[in-house]
A and B are shown apart, each in its own frame.
Chain A
Amino acid sequence: MALMARRVVHIHPTLLCNLTCAHCYSTSSPKMPRGLEPEDILRATAKMAKDGYDSASLSGGEPTIYFGLDRLCAGLRDQGYAVSVITNGLQPDRIVNFAERHQPDLISVSFDGLAPRHDLIRRKKGSFDRAMTTLKALSDKGHRCGAVVSLGEDGMEDIPALVAQVAAAGAGHVQLHPVSELGRGLTSAIVKEPRDETLLRAMVLSQLLDVMHPECRIICDALTGELLQAKPRPKVGELVSPVVIGADGQVFPVAYGLADQFSFGDLRGALAETVYSPDMVDLIDRCWDAAAKREATAFYPDLTRLSQTMVSA
């Protein structure tokens, strides 16, 4: 789990998407507007590159249908960023063509389980097969690729077979990513945030699978409370990582969906320096203290929720 060593800018250039997944934290859909102008994003990332940010990860929305993708990727590269992209893998040809044009440092394809569960959550029949086709095609062309697997309270029994399939398709890494009840995930009837015990099980499982698949690095985005306790906490004035750019242009520290008061501002206006403020450190400290007492934690969903409750309190 991050609070990361690399200095990462996590960019949501658009919430436009060719799917309407049941769990989507960013509530993306085909009805959303086309998104930010790439030049507006690049002006902000240029400044951040000077501050020491070196890694850009593109999310959304579906980044591979974003109108400004080519300009954004080329610009980020020129600014010295390592560029990674996460995609639903729905359009294999389009995605492989993009990879061939831009040679991103990493492409992750999203999965939510084996075909029946994946197609149910993605709300599209055949989306699992397409994602698998995309992953294999990327790997066959020599691109560094992997899988991000969302993990709810149910469905862990799919994971061993899914990991075997994506590893065989050429994934170099698998990231088990706990579902957070944010956005559409908040009201979804079919996906629930995993309980602590389920997180712990996922952590143990990822270790076992990691030993089983030496060709593929398998990690779980969760920590035991004990391990969290032992980690160094961010301090006031330190550079924030990751910085999260929303499709509305707002720039936030660390997590998607934090309460507005924590925003660094709009990237088209005057942006504050992206360092930890006293308020942000206070928020993280409170969340950290509570999470460290738990058996296991995904941390970020708790942080987002706590920020919202602090504002409404």
Chain B
Amino acid sequence: MLNVEKLNTEQALELMANRVASNKISRDSLGAISKAIFNDEFPVIGFDVCKYGTCWDFEFKGPLVKFDLQRLMELVPGRVRNVDIMIDGITDPERLRVRVGQELG
């Protein structure tokens, strides 16, 4: 488990980047992260640190009724702790920003 509690976003990203670069991340985690990042349906548009560990912001374009939360959950690496769904509203009602807080191994 990546201990990010005492880190700000920059430090958490740096830590993660160095772990990926020096092959200190497990094969399974690498597979899980890449599955989340390189999917066609929900592009990753942000990454942050939250109280649960790390948060990933995914984007969904299309009407809300077509948004498949279960499918997104299949893509998210680690253990999911919370999900926030934000509609862009007046600017673009067919664009969702989905923030997933999770623990990353």
Measured in the bound complex, the distance between the Cα atoms of B41 and A227 in whole Å is 11
> A211: which of B13, B22, B25, B31 is its contact (CB, 8 Å)?
B13
Establish whether residues B40 and A201, one from each chain, have CB atoms under 8 Å apart when the complex forms. Answer: no
CB within 8 Å of B: which A193-216 residues: 197, 200-201, 203-205, 207-209, 211-212
CB within 8 Å of A: which B20-50 residues: 20-23, 25, 27, 30-31, 33-34, 37-40, 44, 46-47
Establish whether residues B37 and A204, one from each chain, have CB atoms under 8 Å apart when the complex forms. Answer: yes
Measured in the bound complex, the distance between the Cα atoms of B49 and A264 in whole Å is 53
CB distance from A238 to the nearest CB of B (A): 23
Which secondary structure characterizes the binding site on chain B?
helix
Tell me if A224 is interfacial: C-beta within 8 Å of chain B.
yes
Establish whether residues B34 and A204, one from each chain, have CB atoms under 8 Å apart when the complex forms. Answer: yes
- Nearest B-chain residue to A296, judged by Cβ: B34
Number of interface residues of B (CB under 8 A): 23
The interface stretch among A20-28, A65-73, A94-102, A156-164 is: A156-164
Known: A157-B22, A160-B21, A227-B40. A200 touches B10 (CB 8 A): no
Establish whether residues B13 and A204, one from each chain, have CB atoms under 8 Å apart when the complex forms. Answer: no
Establish whether residues A208 and B30, one from each chain, have CB atoms under 8 Å apart when the complex forms. Answer: no
CB distance from B50 to the nearest CB of A (A): 15
Establish whether residues A205 and B17, one from each chain, have CB atoms under 8 Å apart when the complex forms. Answer: yes
CB within 8 Å of B: which A158-193 residues: 158-160
Q: For residue A201, which residues in chain B have a CB less than 8 angstroms away from its CB?
A: 20-21, 23, 25, 30
Establish whether residues B34 and A156, one from each chain, have CB atoms under 8 Å apart when the complex forms. Answer: no
Establish whether residues B44 and A207, one from each chain, have CB atoms under 8 Å apart when the complex forms. Answer: yes
- Residue from the set A201, A226, A230 with the largest chain B CB neighbour count within 10 Å: A201
Known: A200-B34, A224-B38, A227-B40. A208 touches B17 (CB 8 A): yes
Known: A211-B46, A226-B38. A156 touches B10 (CB 8 A): no
Establish whether residues B21 and A159, one from each chain, have CB atoms under 8 Å apart when the complex forms. Answer: yes
Measured in the bound complex, the distance between the Cα atoms of B40 and A230 in whole Å is 8
Establish whether residues B22 and A212, one from each chain, have CB atoms under 8 Å apart when the complex forms. Answer: no
Beyond A160-B18, A200-B30, A204-B20, 7 additional pairs, beta carbon < 8 A: A157-B21, A158-B21, A160-B21, A204-B37, A205-B21, A211-B47, A296-B34
